[in-house]
Amino acid sequence: MSRLRALKDDERGVSLVEVVFAMALFFVIGSVFVFAMSTVSKVGDDSNEKANSVIAQSGLSNSFRNDMANAKAVKVPYSKSLLIAKNDGTCVSWMVANDPEGKKQAIGRSEANGSPAPAVTSFFQRELLSGDFSANVSSAKVNFIYYSGTTPQYFSLSAPLNVAGGDGGVCWS
Residue 149 φ/ψ region, left for φ over 0, alpha for ψ in the -120 to 50 degree band, beta for the rest: left
Counted domains in the chain: 1
28 in a structural domain:
no
* CB 20 within 8 Å of CB 123: no
Tell me: pLDDT of 42 over 70.
no
Structural domain includes residue 148: yes
pLDDT of residue 80: 92
- How many other C-beta atoms lie within 10 A of the C-beta of residue 43? 11
Q: How many residues does the chain have?
A: 173
| 5 or 148, higher pLDDT | 148
> What is the tens place of the pLDDT at every residue in 135-155?
888 888 888 887 777 778 888
Model confidence at 172, in pLDDT bands (50, 70, 90)? confident
47-89 confidence digits (pLDDT tens)? 545 544 554 556 778 888 888 888 888 888 888 998 988 888 8
Q: How far is 143 from 94, CA to CA, in rounded Å?
A: 12
Domain that holds residue 72: 35-171
Question: Ranked by mean pLDDT, which of 106-110, 121-125, 158-162 comes out on top?
Answer: 106-110
Q: Tell me whether residue 81 is in a domain.
A: yes
**pTM attached to this predicted model:** 0.64
From 80, 94, 82, 85, select the one nearest 131 (Cα to Cα).
80
Residue 23 placed within a domain: no
